[in-house]
Structure 1
Amino acid sequence: MDGNLTKGPILKTLTKLAIPIMASSFLGTLYNITDMAWIGLLGSKAVAGVGVGGMFTWFSQGLSSIARMGGQVQVAQCIGSGDREKAHKYAQTAVQIALYMGLIFALFSLIFVRQMVGFFNLSDAEAYNAAISYTQIACGLIVFSFMTITLTGLYTAQGDSKTPFVANLVGLVTNMILDPLLILGPGPLPKLGVIGAAIATVTAQFIVMGIMILGIIRSKKENVLKGIHLIGGMSTKYLKGICKIGIPTGIQGMVYCMISMLITRMVSGFGAEAVATLRVGGQIESVSWNTADGFAAALNAFTAQNYGAEKIDRVKKGYRVSLLTVGIWGLLITLIFIFAPTPIASVFFHEPSAIATAINYLVIIGFSEAFLCIELTTIGAISGLGKTNLCSIISILFTSSRIPLAMILGNTSLGLNGIWWAFSSTTIVKGIIFTGTFFWITRNGRLQTTLSSRQ
């Protein structure tokens, strides 16, 4: 691909860009599922501990999305308008932000790890110790993840989704090999348990980052990442440009995670098995949201380039094609979760009571999967137009409503299932509202007016 997303058949252009991204997202899902499957052999307490530690790596993704989203949208819009020099400066600034934020978050995590884990009030000592160990390693070396996420966005902005896919494929293979070796310690190898899972994940992230950096070194001169510097001052102009687009997305991601942390604390009142179900259930569900998020990343770059090139009709057509594609995928996941939850739950849990809890989760969450895919795809499109603040307002408002709804439903006869219904119902509402918002933005020439005022 030559990186130009403003010409050619829309479906072919989007699909060519989206398939490697979706495949990369699916590999990301396999990363997490692989960890959970092996850790599941250690028992639900170990899973619960890793689940808590994973909350902080998830929170960190909100911070990393500032550099990724801000960089991806600005770089893609500059490429669409033909200003590659400006695109290069935005790319360099985004990478520097990712590096500095990753190092700061790592330092904070190492210093305050006990206070962070203590928030969840884990009463079981084994689960608590597992959470401490996993968080120290996974968050202490989180900079690899920050760099990987940002580089992926900058590659995508240029229409190159193949390089991140190859890097993630190698990382997945590495993770799948290291997981059983480090977690279970077959033969003479030591059994490291959750520490082994953290080491395997961090090692894989380092390799993925390394491959993408190697791709920059070996790339042609037209790659906007060529010649970037990690150390040095950042231009205030480009820093502001990235923050304007990226901060709303970052806040959205972090708030979303904090809401999930509060709900996880509620869930912990139902025992370690409930926490483990929430963690594992989220990873299983990522089969749909990671795939949709991958397509959304492709649509984001497609929308940003065409918006920069003032091809508004092409933006609208691209969105409709994407909506149909991910909607069908979401409906497929809905059918699987609702009608075949038992074999899925049995892969990750081995205690009958834990399996029963996981089945209830999958069935209830299953009703919202198509809406989840639509929501994520639409966020990608709206963000590509530079309107990340609007996405954040809608997402934060309706995701926050999960807290009072979970408190109300959780205290009824539904119990734990009431909390699951709080998740599902709000996702359905968000999917509907985001879709309506996109069509409202693009109606009656409103987008052309916005573009003119921006210039």
Structure 2
Amino acid sequence: MDLISGPITKTLILFALPTLASNILQTLSSSVNSIWVGQFLGESALAATANANIIMFLMFGAFFGFGMAATVLIGQSMGRGDVDAARRAAGGVVGLALIFSVVIAVVGWFASDRILHWLVTPPEAFGLAHDYLRVTFLAVPASMLSVTLMMASRGAGDAVTPLRFMILTVVLDIVFNPVLILGLGPFPRLGIAGSALATATAGTISLAGMITWFYARNHVLRLRGHELIYLLPKWSELRFIVGRGMPMGAQMLVISGAGLIMIGLVNREGLVTSAAYGATLQLWNYVQMPALAIGAAVSAMVAQNIGAARWDRVASVTNSGMAINLVMTGVLIALLLTFDRAALALFLGSESPAIEVSRHIQLIATWTFLPFGTTIVLIGTLRANGSVVPPLIILFLSMFPIRLGIYYFGYSTIGSDILWWSFPLSSLASLAMAWIVYKRGGWRRTMPQPDVE
């Protein structure tokens, strides 16, 4: 898409919609898989997947920043018409993703038990979480390469190709899950490990299809001939991606680290609360999708406009992103709170005592995604020009001293409810800090480019 001219709001919506659809499909797949697990294997298995999935979010968060740094380079390169620089950035981050993901898969396989002990995983769920997590670690290379290619494609202005292959992944994952969990037809009954294996298989097939598509359609980021050397980036390029990417990755590590701590605190409240929180997270995944899609679209659009020296459009893109997010997220919150009981029954069963606990959590904390989404849009604008340290500081302060401080000082007064109140209160704090950084304007300085000579 042309992101540097024409109507801003319309272009931003059209560019964000494929990413939003991809997020919906990905979350739908996760939700359907959780329904299979919850209905066929019970609450302990559902709690096990919640504990394992937060680990995977942590692993992907560690690499997220490198992908985002490359995406910024790709966006600014495309904005100024330098396709070779965009391909160089894409090749470098794909090569880095391959090395990183293989290391994570090997380390994760052997460290699964220790990780679950750190999370204080309930004994009833420990064995299931172990089986699920180990198989999931095996899928990390294919999954990480897929995510990297999708991020790079969106940075180049193509959000449709990632959507195509997200559809393929989701369809395969939903079909394979009951087959491998229950052992339908000629396949063995693998239980919770079957759910993880289904996801791994679907992701691998989709990755192969996406690489084939890139070359069959001569995608702008495909590498041919001498360009294949871009998979081994020069030190100057790697230094740039790592230097800009580490703070961005640290942002995700802060978020996932806070999630790990929250899982540990919730687990201390017992299995029912742990299962309720796991189901709540499944529904919250849908509520946060507009913010994540719009934030990614704003970042790519701002990056291309900065590359084209269209600074006059940057503030308008950011304002449009915030407005669109408030409308879309507000509608989703209203729908969720209206139909929460029916939605929760899909994951927990209609008679589960965890349903009422989960409804209580949602009534207190779901509105947190309004300030959260606005913060995501502002951070997307900042990182589009390489401003990566202020967002890291903002997220660290809101997730740790503020959120944990709220828990520490409030638990003795209102008990476990302070866990849920800490979400909106810390989100409001992060929004206030992000707005101050955005308005001060220091992030508008020209981002230095890597030396490729």
Instruction: Specify if TM > 0.5.
Output: yes
CA contact (8 A) 1:330 1:369 kept: yes
1:18-66 C-alpha deviation (Å, 9 max, x unpaired): 1111111111111211111111112111111111111211111112213
Match of 1:451 in 2: 446
1:191-211 C-alpha deviation (Å, 9 max, x unpaired): 322111101111222123222
Matching residue's letter, 1:237:
S
Tell me the CA shift for residue 434 of structure 1.
2.3
Question: Does the alignment pair 1:383 with 2:378?
Answer: no
Tell me the CA shift for residue 415 of structure 1.
2.5
Sequence identity percentage: 24
Equivalents in 1 of 2:448, 2:167: separation in Å?
A: 43
Change in CA separation of 1:121 and 1:90 when aligned onto 2, cut-off 3 Å: same
Question: Does the alignment pair 1:144 with 2:145?
Answer: no
Match of 2:167 among 163, 169, 174: 169
Question: Does the alignment pair 1:403 with 2:404?
Answer: yes
Question: Does the alignment pair 1:440 with 2:440?
Answer: yes
Tell me the CA shift for residue 427 of structure 1.
1.7
1:147-167 C-alpha deviation (Å, 9 max, x unpaired): 111111110111101000000
Match of 1:392 in 2: 392
Match of 1:129 in 2: 127
Tell me the CA shift for residue 102 of structure 1.
0.4
Match of 1:415 in 2: 415
Change in CA separation of 1:189 and 1:99 when aligned onto 2, cut-off 3 Å: closer
CA contact (8 A) 1:288 1:333 kept: yes
CA contact (8 A) 1:113 1:132 kept: yes
CA contact (8 A) 1:48 1:273 kept: no
Tell me the CA shift for residue 178 of structure 1.
1.3
Question: Does the alignment pair 1:226 with 2:227?
Answer: no
Equivalents in 1 of 2:232, 2:211: separation in Å?
A: 21
CA contact (8 A) 2:279 2:348 kept: no
Change in CA separation of 1:274 and 1:86 when aligned onto 2, cut-off 3 Å: same
Match of 1:314 in 2: 313
Count of aligned residue pairs for this structure pair: 445
Match of 2:29 among 24, 31, 40: 31
TM score, norm. by length of structure 2: 0.93
RMSD: 2.1
CA contact (8 A) 1:62 1:253 kept: yes
Match of 2:326 in 1: 327
Match of 1:427 in 2: 427
Equivalents in 2 of 1:283, 1:137: separation in Å?
A: 21
Change in CA separation of 1:185 and 1:408 when aligned onto 2, cut-off 3 Å: farther
Compare 26-35 and 274-283 and name the one that shifted more: 274-283
Question: Does the alignment pair 1:345 with 2:344?
Answer: yes
Match of 1:275 in 2: 274
CA contact (8 A) 2:65 2:249 kept: yes
Match of 2:87 in 1: 88
Compare 105-114 and 382-391 and name the one that shifted more: 382-391
Matching residue's letter, 2:221:
V
CA contact (8 A) 2:131 2:193 kept: yes
Give unpaired runs (5+ residues) of structure 1. Answer: none
Equivalents in 1 of 2:221, 2:396: separation in Å?
A: 33
Matching residue's letter, 2:340:
P
Matching residue's letter, 1:403:
L
Give unpaired runs (5+ residues) of structure 2. Answer: none
What SS is found at the alignment partner of 2:446?
A: helix
What SS is found at the alignment partner of 2:9?
A: helix
Equivalents in 1 of 2:205, 2:146: separation in Å?
A: 10
Q: Within 5 A, what are the aligned runs for 1:8-407?
A: 8-41=6-39, 42-124=41-123, 126-186=124-184, 189-220=187-218, 223-227=220-224, 229=228, 233-350=232-349, 351-400=351-400, 401-407=402-408
1:182-235 C-alpha deviation (Å, 9 max, x unpaired): 2233466543221111011112221232222122212336x1333353896431
Equivalents in 1 of 2:102, 2:125: separation in Å?
A: 27
Matching residue's letter, 1:243:
V
